[in-house]
Structure 1
Amino acid sequence: MLHGVKFLCSAAAALARLAHAILGRASGWWALLFMQLCPGPTSAATTTATAVPAPWQHLQPGRAAASSKKVHPAALAVDEKPAGCAKDQMPAPAVVLPAFNKQQGDKTAKAARGRPPRLAIPPPVACAPGVDPFGPAADRETDVATELEVQGEGFCLASRRGVRHAMEDGYGVIADHITQGGSRVAFYGVYDGHGGRAAVDFVADKLGKNVVAALAAAASTTASHRQQSGLLPSSSPPPPTGEEEEDETEQVVAAIRAAYLTTDSAFLSQGVRGGACAATALVKDGDLYVANVGDCRAVLGSRGGVATALTSDHTAGREDERRRIESSGGYVSCGSGGVWRVQDCLAVSRAFGDASMKPWVTCEPEVSRRRLTPDCRFLVVASDGLWNKVSCQEAVDAVSAAASSSSAAVGPCKELVALARSRGSRDDITVMVVDLQRFLQL
């Protein structure tokens, strides 16, 4: 029985040496375990197993006297012979790794498992040299007035900032302008920006000028056609026929569309983010041309108190807009709040800017024409901060009541702003009321 135990222990020691040779330092723990449990071969006179000295007892003969001094196991050489061991009793060489190495490795592994993934930082927006990608007006947003009241020539305006973000509404007016062909025109616009003030400031500054320039180009083309027809520039043209009047209307509509697209292209060329909705009104030779992109709206107030919406909001929920977007490769979706969005992002389907949403969000405006009559009293042009809480008829009724009871010039606009705020509107609100009676004599 004793010889069998000795044989098994010798075999275990031999396996430990082999494991150490194959696995290196990692096998030292197993070799130590086997050598502590199993003794090596002894002389025939020995009747009990001899315990293998612990690794920290492997001292050189010269250090035996100083055995009371503690020596780290890693400082021992693997080829040193323990004191009191015969040549054939040499235990397998073993290297004991310090315990703190394993603990440090465990901590490193845990830290690696708990480390969050790398942040994917998008590349910077490509902009023209010297252009701020966050908009040239980004540093001026805090300077925009919370409340604004304007009394101009033939119009009044009131604007109030919302409670959730910086003021992003704007407006533009060209009150009285004489074109190259001798026509007197007036231009009014209300703009609602999103993603900053860059787009709304740009459109408010450029759109009206581009409309006037496009009209001048159209008038120049008409004058050249008249000269080719044998009419002198100073001669009075005959009253236009129905066909000629239709051609002139088409020219004006084409000029407005060209001005919208030119303004949008110029803004996109700057590489600035954001966008803007718009509703504009052009009065020329007694005709009213109304255009819009997005959810700004223009409503006509008649003498009988009837409200007539002259624009239709461009939203992703409109059936024709959905078909247009899908035919160009995009899609619309309805979120949990019941709001339809283009590409799960934008609630309006037409706007200036929004470069990342092209071509699904276009700036092609819808333009309508109406001949002004004595029944046409005023025009209400406002951002969606008003129309989300006030209907078209309520707006006309409020303006009619305020115009008759208030002595303040901007009273009707202030009444509408206050009405929308009282109903919980948290958005920016801009309301412009244009007097149409003054254009009847033109």
Structure 2
Amino acid sequence: MLHSVKFLCSVARLVHALLMSLCSPRTPPAPLQQVQAIIKATKVLRPASMAVADHDEKPRPPPVLVLPPALFKQGEKGAKARGRPSRLVIPPPPVAGRDAGFDPFGEAAAADRVAAEVEEQGDGFCVASRRGVRHAMEDAYGAVADEIRGESRMAFYGVYDGHGGRAAVDLVAERLGKNVVAAAATASPGDELGVMAAIRQGYLTTDNEFLSQGLRGGCCAATALLKDGDLYVANAGDCRAVLGTRSGAAIPLTSDHTPARDDERRRIEAAGGYVSKGSGGVWRVQDTLAVSRALGDADMRASGVTGVPEVHAARRVTADCAFLVLASDGVWSKVSDQEAVDAVIARISSCTEKTTASVECCKALVALARSRGSRDDITAMVVDLQRFLLPR
């Protein structure tokens, strides 16, 4: 009996709630006949287990209340009358990536479309480049060959790694080689210090050309100048040059300019900047730039970042000098100097032509870096040094 009383009370409360929901300010009160129809249509389903004596100690399952279908239809109409916000339609993003070859956002949209993959077999050199996961390809390269003073041969090669957009790397790739070659052509034969000063001047001229245009971003570089049988290398930033010998040894010719270097950190701090190490273990200037030297980066000059390169003394090209590897940080962050030389030698051995400046050598370096998880832009260049070996 007690259960029946509780059940009837529940039905009464339910009917009261229904009446209140139907009698909203925007909906006229339901007629008495409509309420009575709803009550009559309400059915109570009692399971067979409920047909037991009141004194039975077994728990009784609650009754099931079934409302008429008409009530649900009226509720749906009421919901539509009150209004429901329409679904948001989000258009799909534009296609970008390997198939598109460029990203439609940022500075790359206004500039010419830059290929995501580049392979070139040049005169005495080869290069391969692959875009990483960033919004635009910011690596580039350059090669300038010039015949001067009769039998003397001069050539320039460079690999460039931009940041903050393509403006800096585009200008450096276009102007640096020409500026260095023009300055070095005025140096006297055998004047090692004069050639080194000319290389430095070529870097500074290019840097000033970029800064004078008020462009943003910066660019790291590693370059090689071959003149009168001598090899000169220079760098600004974390691009690197490594010599591969015929005996298979790897000889690093440059040192990366990063805030992790003690001498670079002291130079930055002496100029009024500061160096910090982030949670990822990367040293940065002003908590921002991971290199301490680069062409451009006008907003970082007050912190000690400079475009002045580190120019290394000449090295005579001998019979043991097989090739030179120039590559961006996308390679060196995952591949050591010796591993890079080993990869080139292994690819030369497997090629039927046995030529040093084969694009397959560069592709092997790119593939090795990518297989180890390099997500950066990757550019690798191999120069055949035997072409510049002077006869005795």
Name 1:364's counterpart in structure 2.
Answer: 308
Whether 2:110 is the aligned partner of 1:139: answer: yes
Name 2:264's counterpart in structure 1.
Answer: 321
- Which of residues 286, 304, 327 in structure 2 aligns to 1:343? 286
Q: CA deviation at 1:216?
A: 2.8
- Contact 1:138 1:196 survives alignment (8 Å): no
- Report the secondary structure of 1:418's partner residue: helix
- Contact 1:181 1:216 survives alignment (8 Å): no
Whether 2:379 is the aligned partner of 1:410: answer: no
- Contact 2:153 2:388 survives alignment (8 Å): no
Q: Counterpart amino acid of 1:271? A: G
Query: Would the alpha carbon gap of residues 350 and 255 (structure 1) be closer, same or farther in structure 2, given more than 3 Å must change?
Result: same
Name 2:92's counterpart in structure 1.
Answer: none
Deviations 1:158-194 (A, max 9, x none): 100002321000000013x123687420000000000
Whether 2:135 is the aligned partner of 1:165: answer: yes
Q: Counterpart amino acid of 2:334? A: K
- Contact 2:248 2:342 survives alignment (8 Å): yes
Normalising by structure 1, report the TM-score.
0.61
Query: Would the alpha carbon gap of residues 328 and 152 (structure 1) be closer, same or farther in structure 2, given more than 3 Å must change?
Result: same
- Contact 2:268 2:274 survives alignment (8 Å): yes
Aligned 1:293-332 pairs, distance under 5 A: 293-332=236-275
Q: Counterpart amino acid of 1:281? A: A
Name 2:123's counterpart in structure 1.
Answer: 153
Q: Counterpart amino acid of 1:327? A: A
Work out the CA distance in 2 between the residues paired with 1:407 and 1:148: 23
- Contact 1:280 1:290 survives alignment (8 Å): yes
Work out the CA distance in 2 between the residues paired with 1:407 and 1:201: 36
- Which of residues 334, 354, 376 in structure 1 aligns to 2:297? 354
- Segments of 5+ residues of structure 2 without an aligned counterpart are 1-105
Whether 2:168 is the aligned partner of 1:205: answer: no
Deviations 1:369-398 (A, max 9, x none): 211110000000000000000000000000
Aligned 1:25-424 pairs, distance under 5 A: 139-140=110-111, 143-175=113-145, 177-179=146-148, 183-219=152-188, 245=190, 248-359=191-302, 360-368=304-312, 369-407=314-352, 409-424=358-373
Q: Counterpart amino acid of 1:190? A: V
Work out the CA distance in 1 between the residues paired with 2:187 and 2:300: 31
Work out the CA distance in 1 between the residues paired with 2:175 and 2:382: 21
- Report the secondary structure of 2:258's partner residue: coil
- Report the secondary structure of 2:185's partner residue: helix
Work out the CA distance in 2 between the residues paired with 1:420 and 1:391: 10
- Contact 1:138 1:197 survives alignment (8 Å): no
- Report the secondary structure of 1:330's partner residue: coil
- Report the secondary structure of 1:304's partner residue: coil
Q: CA deviation at 1:212?
A: 1.4
Q: CA deviation at 1:139?
A: 1.4
Q: CA deviation at 1:407?
A: 4.3
- Report the secondary structure of 2:186's partner residue: helix
Query: Would the alpha carbon gap of residues 305 and 267 (structure 1) be closer, same or farther in structure 2, given more than 3 Å must change?
Result: same
Q: Counterpart amino acid of 2:223? A: T
Query: Would the alpha carbon gap of residues 311 and 386 (structure 1) be closer, same or farther in structure 2, given more than 3 Å must change?
Result: same
Work out the CA distance in 2 between the residues paired with 1:179 and 1:263: 22
Query: Would the alpha carbon gap of residues 180 and 213 (structure 1) be closer, same or farther in structure 2, given more than 3 Å must change?
Result: farther
Runs (4 or more) in structure 1 with deviation over 6 Å come to: none
- Segments of 5+ residues of structure 1 without an aligned counterpart are 1-133, 223-244
Deviations 1:235-290 (A, max 9, x none): xxxxxxxxxx4xx1000000000010110011000001010000000000010000
Work out the CA distance in 2 between the residues paired with 1:337 and 1:393: 26
Name 1:114's counterpart in structure 2.
Answer: none
Q: CA deviation at 1:215?
A: 1.6
Work out the CA distance in 2 between the residues paired with 1:215 and 1:378: 22
Name 2:390's counterpart in structure 1.
Answer: 441
- Report the secondary structure of 1:193's partner residue: strand
Q: Counterpart amino acid of 1:399? A: V
Work out the CA distance in 2 between the residues paired with 1:353 and 1:182: 37
Aligned residues: 280
Q: CA deviation at 1:437?
A: 0.7
- Report the secondary structure of 2:213's partner residue: coil
- Contact 1:168 1:193 survives alignment (8 Å): yes
Q: CA deviation at 1:145?
A: 0.9
Q: Which has the larger radius of gyration?
A: 1
Name 2:88's counterpart in structure 1.
Answer: none
- Contact 2:249 2:341 survives alignment (8 Å): yes
- Report the secondary structure of 1:196's partner residue: coil
Higher mean Cα deviation, 162-171 or 300-309? 162-171
Q: Counterpart amino acid of 2:388? A: F
- Contact 1:301 1:380 survives alignment (8 Å): yes
Q: Report % sequence identity.
A: 71
